[in-house]
Amino acid sequence: MLGDSLSAGYGIKPAQGWVALLEQRLQTQGYGYKVLNASVSGETSGGGLERLPRALELHHPAVVIVELGANDGLRGLSVALTRDNLTKIVATTRQSGAKVLLIGMRMPPNYGPRYTNDFMNMYREIATANKVELVPFLLQSVALKPELIQADGLHPTAPAQPALLDTVWPHLKPMLKAR
């Protein structure tokens, strides 16, 4: 798992986060995969790209879930730069022999229609061009439910985490092999 605070479990206990819940689901359903959560709060696509080669070398993953870009967008970084970094992450991961699941994000409307549309479409364009599976929007089932978002207005609460996993699972499950 290569992500940012949304996957690192910002503001909640690590065992409550959707990535920890994913590992539990994998074990209870007999997949036998070990999940390494290499997510870092505040991480950008550039930071993830920088850390990726070492993580691939150390862990030799079968599947890499990439949930990055939200901090790029919140900082107003160019969509072209974020697209380039994510494309390099996908390519580097695939070159290692791992499958890639790309998780998309969206920006709040106050960033303007052009930026928010370009940002949202970027993930689909990367997934299509690189033939990788895409979760269109990680927060799709919780973003408009204030009771599932922390006081900062950005991060999902502990009760929201199962919904995040349920958003990812249908895209991830076909990529897995039972062990």
Please say if 5 is a catalytic residue.
Answer: yes
Please say if 118 is a catalytic residue.
Answer: no
pLDDT, position 32:
87
Please say if 59 is a catalytic residue.
Answer: no
Which of 4, 7, 118, 155 does the annotation list as catalytic?
155
pTM across the whole model: 0.97
Residue pLDDT, tens place only, 20-65: 999 999 999 999 899 999 999 999 999 999 999 999 999 999 999 9
Residue listed under structure tokens 């790309």: 102
Which of 4, 5, 45, 72 does the annotation list as catalytic?
5
> Could you tell me the strand order of the sheet in which 99-103 lies?
2-3, 63-67, 99-103, 133-135
Nearest to 93 by CA among 149, 38, 41, 142: 38
Query: What residues contact residue 78 under an 8 Å CB cut-off, 6+ apart?
Result: none
Which of 45, 141, 152, 171 does the annotation list as catalytic?
152
User: Could you confirm whether domain 2-172 is CATH 3.90.25.10?
Assistant: no
